[in-house]
């Protein structure tokens, strides 16, 4: 149980493109999902908390207009990197948990490269 699927796994695109990343909980419902960013050889930094049916909660320093989050159902959250630039290149990972005080389970991540 507790499988989280993330798609796509790899994106290479030109500067100025908007990129959408999907995160799905396959065998459970997740009212809350989380989006992280990870730079090479660094730990995971929480970007935002995605809440089903309401607005996402962004961490300090994360631009909400740049990183659009939509959590339209109990099994799907999407992160859209709008007008991506090379500095947005990174490894983006989503997670979901089955409830309060339950471990977060992670998707396989999306490696985004902006040329």
Partner 1 sequence: EDKVVQSPLSLVVHEGDTVTLNCSYEVTNFRSLLWYKQEKKAPTFLFMLTSSGIEKKSGRLSSILDKKELFSILNITATQTGDSAVYLCAVLRAAGNKLTFGGGTRVLVKP
Binding pattern to partner 1, positions 93-112, x when CB under 8 A?
x-x-x--xx-xxxxxxx---
* Of residues 18 and 42, the one with the C-beta less far from partner 1: 42
* DSSP 8-state secondary structure symbol assigned to residue 26: S
19 vs 16: CA distance, rounded Å: 10
* Of residues 39 and 73, the one with the C-beta less far from partner 1: 39
110 vs 67: CA distance, rounded Å: 14
Query: What Å distances lie between residue 61 and 7, 67, 71, 82, CA to CA?
Result: 25, 11, 21, 16
We find the least distance from the C-beta atom of residue 100 to partner 1, in angstroms, to be: 6
Instruction: Tell whether residue 78 is a contact of partner 1 (CB under 8 A).
Output: no
| 8: preceding bond cis by omega (within 30 degrees) | yes
* Of residues 49 and 70, the one with the C-beta less far from partner 1: 49
Which positions touch partner 1 (CB under 8 A)? 2, 6, 32, 34, 42-46, 49, 57, 93, 95, 97, 100-101, 103-109
């Amino acid at each position: 149980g507790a499988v989280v699927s993330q798609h796509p796994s790899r994106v290479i695109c030109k500067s100025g493109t908007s990129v959408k990343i999907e995160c799905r909980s396959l065998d459970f419902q997740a009212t809350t999902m989380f989006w992280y960013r990870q730079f090479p050889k660094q730990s995971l930094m929480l970007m935002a908390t995605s809440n089903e049916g309401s607005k996402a909660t962004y961490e300090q320093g994360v631009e909400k207009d740049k990183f659009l989050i939509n959590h339209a159902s109990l099994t799907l959250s999407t992160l859209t990197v709008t007008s991506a630039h090379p500095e947005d290149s990174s490894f983006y990972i989503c997670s979901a948990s089955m409830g309060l005080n339950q471990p977060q389970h992670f998707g396989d991540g999306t490696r985004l490269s902006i040329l």
